[in-house]
């Protein structure tokens, strides 16, 4: 699958990634193992985070991880049979983060 780096960045995606290191680490891990997918517990082990935090960043959970800012809701990750895989849009964002061309938050 070819990753398109010319897609416009949604401000909600930028805000979501900047608000959570767990979201960023999860997205980058899933991009690194693409085209494979991973279970929640495996993602937690790999990024050294509690599985409940990983679940929150993927699906949303209460006030700490709002569902509308979750990686799945933003279209960056997809869930298939209780496993998670980065989407094409997620791969594009991961590429921008790795190249340091991801917009920085204004101070």
Q: What is the pLDDT of residues 67-87, one digit of tens each?
A: 999 999 999 999 999 999 999
- The predicted pLDDT at position 1 comes to 39
Higher pLDDT, 31 or 62: 31
Rounded CA-CA distance 54/36 in Å is 18
Domain boundaries, the chain: 11-98
Higher pLDDT, 18 or 4: 18
Rg of the chain over all Cα atoms, to the nearest angstrom: 13
Question: Tokens representing 4?
Answer: 């398109």
Reply yes or no on whether the pLDDT at 104 is more than 90. no
Q: Please tell me whether residue 31 adopts helix, strand or coil conformation.
A: helix
pTM: 0.84
Q: What is the mean pLDDT of the chain?
A: 87
Reply yes or no on whether the pLDDT at 6 is more than 50. no
Q: Which residue has the tokens 């608000």?
A: 19
pLDDT digits 0-9 by tens, 46-60: 999 999 999 999 999
- The predicted pLDDT at position 64 comes to 83
CATH of domain 11-98: 1.10.10.10
């Amino acid at each position: 699958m070819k990753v398109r780096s010319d897609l416009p960045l949604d401000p909600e995606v930028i805000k979501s990634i900047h608000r959570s290191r767990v979201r960023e680490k999860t997205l980058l891990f899933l991009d690194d193992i693409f085209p494979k997918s991973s279970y929640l517990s495996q993602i937690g082990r790999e990024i050294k985070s509690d599985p409940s935090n990983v679940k929150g960043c993927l699906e949303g959970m209460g006030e700490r991880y709002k569902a509308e800012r979750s990686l799945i809701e933003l279209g960056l990750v997809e869930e298939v049979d209780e496993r998670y895989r980065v989407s094409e849009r997620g791969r594009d964002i991961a590429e921008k983060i790795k190249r340091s061309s991801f917009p920085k938050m204004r101070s």
